[in-house]
Chains A and B, each alone.
Chain A
């Protein structure tokens, strides 16, 4: 649930859930350490001025003498970047509504991967491939935590009253 001025989020499997009280700046970081931690072209991060873990807590990797990175020990989702003296930044797409944290700045440009520009122009699936994918998705049962807080998680499979 999201109340005014706060927002919730968590990892993919739902073992770790958090609530952020107030946000600072949102940015993307191209440095090689952020690339590696996120397995991605860059890390999207937003400063959390206050954060409460409402279910579980992240596991941490001390990625350098100055910073540690939080992730879910059960599903691996990258969750936080915590630089000594600078507080906690959270991985934007772990928010239940990542559209509220549009980045305003990019840092670490010396490591920017050239292909991360121009991605919007890439083609998508051809119609016949899309139809094939659609069939597969119809049978898909997601184990991902929904984009809102839950009383109980995971939902019991045998939850139909017998």
Chain B
């Protein structure tokens, strides 16, 4: 659950869930090649913790890859979701893993030397909503998601999916 001063999140499969009690710190995106690779994406969106805020793993614990001598990166060993960036000067949580990523707005960008030439053009691409996708619709009509919902659960996965 996400209250005024509490932010929850987790991985796609729900094996890892976390909660931050207290204020979140600076939200950023990093274009560097290491963040690109770790996230398989154009940039890593990460948010820090304000001093005094506390991170609790409420279900499961991440697996880690020591991506350099300074930094390790946490991920879910069951579904792969990138979860943390942990450096000597602090920890960043993957914004997309939060239950409400839309509330965590990046205010700074790093690693511009790694920025891909087309990164700025993405908002202007032609686009569709899922319900307009005629090829996907017949499949989506019967799709059963195994993704953890965007809120805490008492037990997971649900009985019928075990």
Give me the interface of A with B, judged by CB distance under 8 Å: 11-13, 28, 31-33, 35-44, 59, 61-66, 69-79, 83-85, 91-94, 98-99, 102-110, 113-120, 122-125, 133, 136, 139-145, 147
Q: Which of B116, B127, B150 contacts A105 (CB 8 A)?
A: B127
- The interface residues of chain A lying within 8 Å CB-to-CB of B69 are 139-141, 143
Quick one: given A61-B13, A140-B70, are A76 and B123 in contact (CB under 8 Å)?
no
Given contacts A36-B147, A37-B79, A66-B143, is CB(A78)–CB(B40) below 8 Å?
A: yes
B37, B101, B131, B133, most chain A CB atoms within 10 A: B37
For B110, list chain A residues within 8 Å (CB).
124-125, 133
Q: Which of B79, B107, B130 contacts A122 (CB 8 A)?
A: B107
User: Which bracket fits the contact residues of B?
Assistant: 35 or more
Contacts of A37 in B (CB 8 A): 12, 79-81
- B72-100 vs A: 1/0 string, CB under 8 Å? 01111111111100000000001111000
Q: Could you write out 11 A-B pairs with CB less than 8 Å apart? A: A28-B125, A37-B81, A41-B101, A65-B142, A69-B80, A76-B38, A77-B82, A84-B139, A110-B130, A122-B107, A140-B68
Question: B52-66 vs A: 1/0 string, CB under 8 Å?
Answer: 000000000001011
Residues of B contacting A140 in the complex (Cβ-Cβ under 8 angstroms): 68-70
Q: Mark B18-46, 1 if CB is under 8 A from A, else 0.
A: 00000000000100011011111111110
In the complex, the answer to whether B94 meets A39 with C-beta atoms within 8 Å is yes
User: For residue B12, which residues in chain A have a CB less than 8 angstroms away from its CB?
Assistant: 33, 36-37, 61, 63, 69
Residues of A within 8 A of B13 (CB): 61, 63
Does A12 contact B41, Cβ atoms closer than 8 Å? no
Expressed in whole angstroms, the Cα–Cα distance for A44 and B78 within the complex equals 21
* CA gap between A143 and B70 in the complex, in Å: 10
Say whether B126 faces chain A, with CB atoms less than 8 Å apart: yes
Give 7 nearest A-B pairs by CB, closest first.
A71-B80, A76-B75, A91-B40, A39-B94, A75-B65, A61-B79, A106-B127
Contacts of A72 in B (CB 8 A): 80
Given the interface contacts A32-B150, A63-B145, A78-B80, does A39 sit within 8 Å of B39 by beta carbon?
A: yes
